[in-house]
Structure 1
């Protein structure tokens, strides 16, 4: 007798949770890329780099990453998905 095939799709709640975990894992990579952007900037009319603009940009990126991490952590802390949402033990391996 054939084994029943696992469900093709995950439950919506667990799928969204996994994508949110993926987003949390990518935040440091995104942060690194965004922080390295000022290196590529060309100076304006002068030969000296625009330090003030670069500093404002870095602080904006920094606060943005803190805000994004806070939101992701808050959503993930709401709780684990329900056991009855269609996810089986075999799918979590």
Structure 2
């Protein structure tokens, strides 16, 4: 006799935490793709390099990646703090050595 299959249910909080962790793992790959992307569309027949626009793109991409990493860290911080408290570790407070 076959067992009745129970539907797989994940709590909304843990599901979102896992998706944020997945996004944090993929962020370096996205960064590499975005940094090397201008090399794909650089025309070979251009006589001069457009250094100014390339630097604006590079530092703009860098700033966006930093912002995304900060947003992901802020979203994951409560979940990671809750895991630390569940394991019984006591967070260090200021003034303790």
With the shorter chain as reference, the TM-score category is 0.7 to 0.9
Q: Does 1:61 align with 2:57?
A: no
The 5 A counterparts of 1:2-81 are 8-43=8-43, 46-80=46-80
On the 8 A contact 1:31/1:65 being kept in 2, the answer is yes
Structure 1 or 2: more helix by fraction: 2
Question: How many positions carry a matched residue from both structures?
Answer: 80
Gaps (5+ residues) in structure 2? 83-97
Give me the TM-score of the superposition, normalised by structure 2. Answer: 0.70
| Local SS of the residue matching 1:47 | coil
Gaps (5+ residues) in structure 1? 83-93
The CA distance in 2 between the partners of 1:81 and 1:70, in whole Å, is: 16
On the 8 A contact 2:17/2:79 being kept in 1, the answer is no
The CA distance in 1 between the partners of 2:49 and 2:31, in whole Å, is: 22
**Cα displacement (A) at 1:79:** 2.9
CA RMSD after TM alignment: 2.7
What per-residue deviation string (whole Å, max 9, x for no partner) do you get for residues 29-78 of structure 1? 000000001212335x9511211101000000000000000010011002
From the superposition, tell whether residues 7 and 80 of structure 1 become closer, same or farther in structure 2 (CA, over 3 Å).
farther
From the superposition, tell whether residues 48 and 25 of structure 1 become closer, same or farther in structure 2 (CA, over 3 Å).
same
